[in-house]
Structure 1
Amino acid sequence: MKLVINIPCYNEEKTLPLVLRELPKKIKGVSEIIVQIVDDGSTDKTVAVAKKLGVKNIIIHKKNKGLGIAFKHGMQAALDLGADIFVNTDADNQYPSKYIPALVEPVVKQRADLVIGNRKPWKVKHFSPLKRGLQWFGNGLTRKILGSNVPDTVSGFRAYSKDAMLRINVVTKFSYVLDTIMQAVQKDLRIESIEISTNAPTRDSRLFKNIFQHMQKSGVNLIRIFYLYEPLKTFLYASLVPFVLGLALLIRWFYFYFNNLGGGNLQSLIMSLILLITAGLLFGLGIIGDSMKANRMLIEDTLYSLKKKDYDVRK
């Protein structure tokens, strides 16, 4: 089996040597290990450092395109290389490379298509109590929305099988972690987790300035993903509020009207009709979205067939 270890980079000249030095040279069940760098518009000497340390597979973005795009291009390049397994890790040395053999083991044994390193973020010592609490709450909420039991939903330390690489299509620029889990669930891919520890942070996160910005971006991304993959549920839930309020006002109007309790309730009737029409429109959008979802699934099946044929030719 051929393994490609992908490392997205953005101004990582200081930490990249630490990561490259610790990468495993041999893994049981893996015949070839290829290290690949995706330089996402770095303005420092990241590329020069990578070349000096012997990295031959380097993808260069002339400007910063975001982690999601860097991951997408890295995965496509791995398929072009004929990879059977794709591991993604960070260039800031957050994830200890010693866990890579354990990460790929379920894929090597054909037991899983996606393996995620569980950092147990609610227990990480260098996280503040507030951050640990928010991580615990956020992970629980995310699991509920995504329909998955993955303990650490935002961990970027992952291994993908060939089938997962062919089936997953990244559509977000900010981060791919939630998107790929939702797709794995939707496409019945087998998901496993392994427990890992993390190294102390070497720098501040470049994805967000603080935990609250992280929550905001992740929340927006989560809503967008849920809408993309579950449009009927999204608009059904959205229509419930105006429907319940409109129904309550309509019942109130009927009560006053049939019991001759006086006039002046026309406002209730008008508002109830507006709310009920709004609910109907939202539900209608859900029906349209569900039809578009079916069309997207057909397109993805066609794309999978084309990608598989191209992979088999290259292999």
Structure 2
Amino acid sequence: MKLIIQIPCHNEESQLPDTLAALPRKVAGFDHVEWLVIDDGSIDGTAAVAAAAGADHVIRLGHNRGLAGAFMAGIEASLKRGADVIVNTDADNQYRADGIPAIVAPILAGQAQLVVGARPIDQIDHFSPVKRWLQKFGSWVVRKVSGTAIRDAPSGFRAIQRDAAVQLYVFNAYTYTIETIIQAGRLGIPVLSVPVAVNPPTRESRLIRSEVGYVLRSAATILRVLVVYRPLQVFTTAALFTALPGVAAFARFLWLYAQGQGDGSIQSLVIGAALIAAGFVLFVGGVLADLVAANRMLLAEIRARLLLAEINRRPPE
């Protein structure tokens, strides 16, 4: 059994030595433990520092693909190197590495194929009240959409079993955390959460530039998740909220027309017709988006089969 611990990085030469020094070289249940660093188009010495600090594999991306792109590049590289389980952690040493045995334990026991480390959100001092609320609300939305019991959806500290890793693919360029959980839920991949500890922050988050930016990014991510994975429900709801006022306006016109006052209420007819038409367009858009979502799932399955065939065809690197 091989465990590969992957770390997506972008300009992390100052953080990497401490992060790598904390990683284990032996984990119960595994014969081999290797470290893989993904250099996401860094312009500093990230790759050289990673190699000097003991990383077994350093993957250099030609340009910055973003966190999600680096994560997926690491997953594919780990699979091609024979990983049975992949642990993903952050380069800023946010997550305590001594939690790795805890997040791989459910996979070794056959209880899950994706395990996400749940941070003690209420006990993290540098999280503002707004950020804590958004973390909890975002996780609640993900639980509803994915059908899983995930407690900390934005957490990047997670373990993925080989068969599950082959099936997951991230379409979101911003972050992989939420989308992989929703995909796992839709694909029937068993998902669990385990509590993990965190280290004090050593620098400001690069994904969260400001409180306002974090709120806007989080809202956009949650909305996009709903539109991508529940398009028919989202567009049907929007269609109803748009069309029902139109029906009311149209009914008002008919009632006034029946009373002989239709000439003075033509605006109700125009507004009602426009809103009903807009509601119909939204509903049709939802049907089309639902078909696109089904096509996306088929493409993801084709990709998984091709990746699995490639992995089985070549010896581990």
Would the aligned equivalents of 2:106 and 2:112 in 1 still touch at CA under 8 Å?
yes
- Where does residue 56 of structure 1 map in the other structure? 56
Q: Distance in 2 between matches of 1:82 and 1:180?
A: 21
- In structure 2, what is the Cα distance between the partners aligned to 1:211 and 1:142? 21
Q: What residue is the counterpart of 2:112 in the other structure?
A: 112
**Paired residue type of 2:2:** K
Q: Which amino acid aligns with 1:101?
A: P
How does the TM-score come out when normalised to structure 2? Answer: 0.94
Deviation readout 1:168-224 (Å, 9 max, x if unpaired): 011121101111111111111100011011111000011121232122112212222
Q: Say which is worse superposed, 151-160 or 210-219, in terms of deviation.
A: 210-219
Q: What secondary structure sits across from 2:35 in the alignment?
A: strand
Partner of 2:280: 280
Q: Which residue of 2 aligns with 1:231?
A: 231
Letter of the structure 2 residue corresponding to residue 11 of structure 1: N
**1:14 is paired with a residue of what secondary structure?**
coil
Q: Kindly indicate whether the alpha-carbon contact (under 8 Å) linking 1:122 and 1:133 is maintained by their aligned counterparts in 2.
A: no
Q: Aligned partner of 2:218: which letter?
A: S
Q: Deviations over 1:240-287 (max 9, x none)?
A: 221111111111112211123453111111111111111111111111
Contact 1:115-1:159 at 8 Å conserved across structures: yes
Aligned to 1:314: 314
SS in structure 2 of the partner of residue 263 of structure 1 = helix
* Post-superposition offset of 1:145: 4.3
Deviations 1:59-86 (A, max 9, x none): 1123322101100100110111121111
- Aligned partner of 2:56: which letter? K
Unaligned runs of 5+ in 1: none
Match of 1:252 in 2: 252
Which stretches in structure 2 are left out of the alignment for 5+ residues?
none
Counterpart position of 2:243: 243
Q: Which residue of 2 aligns with 1:207?
A: 207
Q: Is residue 34 of structure 2 the alignment partner of residue 34 of structure 1?
A: yes
TM-score, normalised via structure 1 length: 0.94
> Per-residue displacement from partner, 1:290-311 (whole Å, max 9, x unpaired)?
2222223223222222222222
Deviations 1:3-42 (CA, angstroms, capped at 9, x unpaired): 1110011121222111111111211111111100011122
Whether the aligned pair in 1 keeps the contact of 2:89 and 2:157 (CA below 8 Å) is: yes
The alignment partner of 2:122 has SS state of coil
Structure 2 match to 1:172: 172
The letter for the 2-side match of 1:217 is R
Q: CA RMSD in A?
A: 1.7
On the 8 A contact 2:9/2:38 being kept in 1, the answer is: yes
Alpha carbons 2:146, 2:184 under 8 Å: kept = no
* Distance in 1 (alpha carbons) for counterparts of 2:35 and 2:107: 18
Residue type of the partner of 1:74?
A: G
The AA in structure 2 aligned to 1:131 is K
Structure 1 Cα separation of the partners of residues 161 and 8 of structure 2? 19
Give yes or no for contact 2:68–2:176 (8 Å, CA) kept in 1. Answer: yes
Paired residues, number = 315
Following superposition of structure 1 onto structure 2, how do residues 1-315 of structure 1 map, counting pairs within 5 Å? 1-261=1-261, 263-314=263-314
Distance 1:212 1:52, change over 3 A: same
Amino acid at match of 2:207: L
Residues 148 and 185 in structure 2, CA contact (< 8 A), matched pair in contact too:
yes
Structure 1 position 146, deviation (Å): 4.3
Q: Is the 8 A contact 2:145 2:182 kept in 1?
A: no
Distance, in Å, in 2 between the alignment partners of 1:244 and 1:216 is 29
Pick which of 82-91 and 132-141 moved more: 132-141
Structure 1 counterpart of 2:34, one-letter code: I
Contact 1:93 1:199 in 2 (8 A): yes
8 Å CA contact 1:41–1:64 kept in 2: the answer is: yes
Q: Is the 8 A contact 1:39 1:61 kept in 2?
A: yes
* C-alpha distance 225-130 of structure 1, shift in aligned 2 (>3 A): closer
SS at match of 1:122: helix
Amino acid corresponding to residue 126 of structure 2 in structure 1: H
Q: Which runs of 4+ in 1 moved over 4 A?
A: none
- 1 CA distance for matches of 2:303 and 2:136? 36
Per mean C-alpha deviation after superposition, the further-off stretch among 62-71 and 140-149 is 140-149
Counterpart-to-counterpart distance in 1, 2:200 and 2:155: 15
